[in-house]
Chain A
């Protein structure tokens, strides 16, 4: 058995279009290394150059946010389900418009 990883649309260019890929490792950090070995470049989209989890990426182990489970040191094991998602605030449309009005960076880009 392996660890199942759900990949968001925006990162599927690294997985040959696959929505779900498999990986292995006993921590999230090792799992991401394993994924990067199979899908070159994906690590760079999840981890910042200084080694932290990207601010606008959320990763969940069995539906729980890894930032509250030790972040990259979070324990993972065979049979776990990992979900990667871009950070989006609820009612993001309202935010995008509000941010534009207030001159803040927009969730939608320009």
Chain B
């Protein structure tokens, strides 16, 4: 697995690496408990979202929704936007991203570099303004295609067909799979595959718990659960706060040399919790977890240095995963 016809063909097939120093120590004679990191930062644009972007575009091509030269509209500044920008470039589509003007300079530069066009909504208007701008654009361009990762089954299918089989091939003794819960695509797809193949497998979700500012304006009656989400796929679901996510992100690079984004730290936190439980119960465990992306895009937050409280303050109000 070293030569590929094009960058798109190099999507997936990421390494699974052991964490000998962060895995908990077990008493002498007890069965081993080991942590394994699936390095999704090794995908073409550096995040797990490449898998979903590729599958969503291919599915839209096959169903005839997306035709050569079409324009894709994606209202996000996150990893999905970057992945779609690369796939769109390679497959010959135009990508337009709608995002608030206060996103980091790195994000804007990466997207433009991959050829995406950006339409900004005023920062002061927040999400409501972004929605209003996006609505206006859509009404002016009814022919533009939206892939909608939260409800697009090709997102989960990408993981059912690739991430899941890769994990089982590399770690036949897997007992736990731990990943982040956002669109829920990774957990739904990988989780369904592993449940079909591995008796008693535990599928664990790690959900970011942001600072208060993020939730501040949310009305409970206007909450949202992604269409892809099916709770029966999960065994347990943990909420991980900013402080724990930062602590684990730092441990990952300091102890094991893996430089990751904060969502991966949150996932590691949940993975360690189940690993320590297995030690207590004297059970063998091979806990595989997802490293979603590298830390490069988050350096400007300043949260990799200083005290944990400083880092927590730096990330307050930000959607860090």
Contact = CB atoms under 8 A, between A and B. Distances in A.
A35 B133 CA distance: 42
Interface string A2-34: 000000111100000000000000000000000
Classify the secondary structure of A's interface with B.
Answer: mixed
Contacts of B195: none
B75 A88 contact: no
B272 to A, nearest CB: 12
Contacts of B130: 93, 96-97
B234 interface: yes
Given A65-B239, A85-B239, A97-B130, A56 B183 contact: no
Interface in A48-91: 54-58, 60, 63-65, 67-68, 83, 85-91
Given A93-B130, A100-B135, A101-B75, A10 B236 contact: no
Interface in B173-222: 180-183, 205, 207-210, 212, 214-222
Given A64-B237, A102-B148, A93 B224 contact: no
B127 interface: yes
B148 A67 contact: no
B218 A93 contact: no
B288 interface: no
Contact of B235 (A58, A68, A90): A68
B52 interface: no
A83 to B, nearest CB: 7
Contacts of A94: 74-78, 80-81
A98 B97 CA distance: 11
B298 interface: no
Contact of B224 (A9, A45, A56, A64): A56
Interface in B249-298: 263
B128 interface: yes
Contacts of B263: 90
B231 A87 contact: no
A98 B75 contact: yes
A71 to B, nearest CB: 11
A94 B182 CA distance: 11
B146 A86 contact: no
B131 interface: yes
A64 B234 CA distance: 13
B225 A90 contact: no
Most buried by A among B77, B132, B150, B215: B150
B240 interface: yes
Contacts of B209: 63, 83, 85
Contacts of B149: 98
Contacts of B78: 91, 94
Contacts of B238: 60, 63-65
Given A9-B212, A93-B319, A100-B131, 4 more contacts: A9-B217, A45-B220, A85-B239, A100-B132
Interface of B: 73-78, 80-81, 98-100, 127-128, 130-135, 138, 146, 148-150, 180-183, 205, 207-210, 212, 214-226, 231, 234-241, 263, 319, 321
19 contacts: A8-B215, A10-B218, A10-B219, A64-B239, A67-B231, A67-B237, A88-B224, A89-B182, A90-B263, A90-B319, A90-B321, A91-B78, A91-B80, A96-B128, A97-B75, A97-B98, A97-B130, A98-B146, A102-B148
